[in-house]
A = this chain, B = another copy of it.
Amino acid sequence: MISFDQAYTHVLEHTLELGIEVVPLMQSLQRVLAEDICADRDFPPFDRATKDGIAINYSDHINTDHILQIEGVAAAGAPQQELRTVGNCVEVMTGAVVPQNTDTVIMYEHISITDNVAVINEKVSKGQNIHYKGSDEKAGAVLLTIGTKITAAEIGVMATVGKSYVTVKANPKITTIATGNELVEVDAVPLPHQIRKSNTITLEAALQTRAIPTNSLHLIDNKEALSKSLKTALKQNDVLLLSGGVSKGKFDFIPEVMETLGVEKVFHRVAQRPGKPFWFGVHKELKTVIFSFPGNPVSTFANFHVYFLPWLHKCWNIPVANQYIKLSGEIHIKPPLTRFIQVCTKREKGGIYAVPISENGSGDLLSLSKSNGFICLQPREKGYGSGELVPFISTK
């Protein structure tokens, strides 16, 4: 049995080169950029009026009596116009190109117009109400960098620079595998000794939230059948996420079968709760990484967040966000096990506090919906104090 720190280090030592793929813009939502996104031209691309009103030449204006003949109208979406006569003005709309020979925009609220003549009623500053060409960004500037998580705002930026297709980090091919004869489908009525599959469905949902599609399998506790199915699964996937079959039971065949299929065990059993029987291996030739989580719902869910997601971030070469929040009360974690404790966070006076939820052991699936993450506490002789900062792993 190894320590949590050792297990975590080992997992991160076995990343895969997942490559990149090109997807249509809207499908890049929630993905991770694999290219820098650059400005294809200046932003804004022209001197842009930011108010509806009139555009004037400021130097002319100071020589007039604030009464200007209107020469025309510059609409948004129309080519740039030209102010032809000194002392005149052009009506201009928000978003329009500021006309040639003008340098200042006065909003309607500050003028009055009668018979096509504008009278200025307020003080004017030279250059006002113009969003200058290139003032946000110059052509060629890097707007978004490789490794950025794509949210709605990034979709907007990419639309603006014409990225109808986007290069993103490729997802690993993942199959989630439920093991155990006691499991039946969600739509089945279980016999008294059976339960419905939920762990792999939970994992699929957690991956779907991150725009990662999955396949799923259910394998029964039979060595030959396991061997046959896993052989194919190892070939067809980058990652297998298994649930169950790694404890000390007579029918926990996963470690043995994996090793006969050429998978190299990196470790089995970690000094942690929940999830002690976690088994982790790699098939070096096929380049497949196997996370074999214990079958209890809390164990599988915790290990997925604690190990798999940081592993995936490392594969994509993006940082794992380490969050720390405050404990709402004292907790004592006696050696030797590292503990992942389900908490519900509470915001108070600008701080975030971890409030442990009551749970009934690692088989208590229902507790997962009451929490929004785990705090990760290393064992130590001295208790953790109320208000102490501890690592937090969000699950919602």
The CA of A188 and the CA of B73, in the complex, are separated in Å by: 26
**B-chain residues with CB within 8 Å of residue A18 when the two chains form the complex:** none
Given B163, B252, B323, B352, which contacts A52 in the complex, CB threshold below 8 Å?
B252
User: For the complex, is A157 an interface residue (Cβ under 8 Å from B)?
Assistant: yes
**B-chain residues with CB within 8 Å of residue A159 when the two chains form the complex:** 186, 196-198, 201-202
A29 to chain B minimum Cβ distance, whole angstroms, is 5
User: For the complex, is A162 an interface residue (Cβ under 8 Å from B)?
Assistant: yes
Given B182, B202, B251, which contacts A155 in the complex, CB threshold below 8 Å?
B202
Chain A: number of interface residues, binned into ranges? 35 or more
Contact A251 B75 (CB under 8 A): yes
User: For the complex, is A177 an interface residue (Cβ under 8 Å from B)?
Assistant: no
Given B180, B192, B367, which contacts A79 in the complex, CB threshold below 8 Å?
B192
Contact B79 A157 (CB under 8 A): no
User: For the complex, is A62 an interface residue (Cβ under 8 Å from B)?
Assistant: no
User: For the complex, is A319 an interface residue (Cβ under 8 Å from B)?
Assistant: no
**B-chain residues with CB within 8 Å of residue A250 when the two chains form the complex:** 52, 73, 75, 91, 93
**B-chain residues with CB within 8 Å of residue A396 when the two chains form the complex:** 151, 153
User: For the complex, is A147 an interface residue (Cβ under 8 Å from B)?
Assistant: no
Contact A162 B209 (CB under 8 A): no
Q: Which residue of chain B has its CB nearest to the CB of A27? A: B208
User: For the complex, is A194 an interface residue (Cβ under 8 Å from B)?
Assistant: yes
**B-chain residues with CB within 8 Å of residue A79 when the two chains form the complex:** 191-193
Interface with B: A115-123, A130-138, A226-234, A284-292, which one? A130-138
The CA of A136 and the CA of B186, in the complex, are separated in Å by: 19
Interface with B: A6-14, A255-263, A357-365, which one? A357-365
Whether A80 contacts B43 in the complex (CB less than 8 A), given A52-B248, A295-B95, comes out as no
The CA of A79 and the CA of B78, in the complex, are separated in Å by: 78
Contact A366 B201 (CB under 8 A): no
The CA of A143 and the CA of B247, in the complex, are separated in Å by: 29
Given B135, B190, B220, B221, which contacts A360 in the complex, CB threshold below 8 Å?
B135
User: For the complex, is A337 an interface residue (Cβ under 8 Å from B)?
Assistant: no
The CA of A351 and the CA of B353, in the complex, are separated in Å by: 9
User: For the complex, is A278 an interface residue (Cβ under 8 Å from B)?
Assistant: no
**B-chain residues with CB within 8 Å of residue A143 when the two chains form the complex:** 366, 369
Question: What are 6 A-B interface contacts by the 8 Å CB criterion?
Answer: A52-B249, A79-B193, A143-B366, A159-B197, A160-B366, A164-B187
Name A's B-contacting residues (CB within 8 A): 25-26, 29-30, 43-46, 48, 50-53, 73, 75-80, 91, 93-97, 107-109, 131, 135-137, 143-144, 148, 151-157, 159-164, 180-183, 186-199, 201-206, 208-209, 220-221, 244, 247-252, 295-297, 301, 323-326, 347, 349-353, 360-369, 371, 387, 389, 395-396
Name 14 extra pairs, CB < 8 A, besides A76-B249, A79-B192, A107-B248. A76-B181, A76-B182, A94-B247, A95-B182, A148-B369, A151-B369, A151-B395, A153-B301, A153-B368, A153-B371, A153-B396, A157-B369, A163-B186, A350-B353
Closest 3 CB pairs of A and B: A77-B181, A77-B182, A156-B202
